Amino acid sequence: SPTYGFFWPHLTLAKVWLAQDTPASRRRAADLLDEARTFVESTHNTRFLIEVLALQALLHHALNEPDIALTRLEQALAKAQPGRFIRLFVDLGPPMAHLLRRVKGEDLARQRYVEQLLAAFAPDKPDVTSPPLAESLTNREMDVLELLAHRLTNKEIADRLYISPLTVKRHTTTIFGKLGVRNRRQAVVRAHALGLIPSK
């Protein structure tokens, strides 16, 4: 889709500039993330907005602006919590884990979600992504994922589940985001690897 085409290279570049950790690279990352956020808010793409906000949190942490960093992280968590996104945060590595440990508040559901995220960073668990991902997929998303493995079209899946093709498309987009993949084939391969669906 146009959104994927825009975001994958832009966010990858932003991550590269953040990793370089120089004043010039941080400025470039800041400009790019501001542009990306404006675009993604206009397209109402929650998955990418979460990632942009998370990257902005890391940027402000690197700039020694802890209050802004935590504000951006809280915004990302608020968007991510309903869909139980895990991989988006885990893929950002130890700096994100460090920031997550600073999240405080009285929202018990939020704290449980943060604990789930931090558990996925645990170094002594090689397969840490599997349980959180399995928990994060809803029953309906699991239904769609299993039918994707049978190579059904959106219309065929819609007919099987008595929902509209548009709803199927929405579910598949969410599944891709949660599994950290870009297409159906990658989703099925990843699901098999995580044990979410049985291998043939």
Torsion of CA 84, 90, 95, 98, to 10 degrees: 50
> Which amino acid belongs to residue 157?
I
Report the pLDDT value the prediction gives residue 44, as an integer from 0 to 100.
82
For residue 146, count other CB atoms closer than 10 A to its CB: 17
User: For 77-97, b where at least 16 C-beta lie within 10 A, e where not — what string?
Assistant: bebbbebbbbbbbbebeeebb
One fold for 2-126 and 137-194: no
Architecture of domain 2-126: Alpha Horseshoe (1.25)
Contacts of 17 (CB under 8 A, 6+ apart): 25, 26, 28, 29, 32
**pLDDT, position 70:** 93
pTM confidence score: 0.58
Look up the CATH architecture of domain 137-194: Orthogonal Bundle (1.10)
- Domain locations along the chain: 2-126, 137-194
Tell me what pLDDT residue 153 has: 94
pLDDT at residue 199, rounded to an integer: 58
Report mean pLDDT in 10-residue bins for the chain, 200 residues.
54 83 88 89 86 94 90 94 88 87 83 88 50 64 90 92 91 88 87 71
Structure tokens at 115: 């604990």
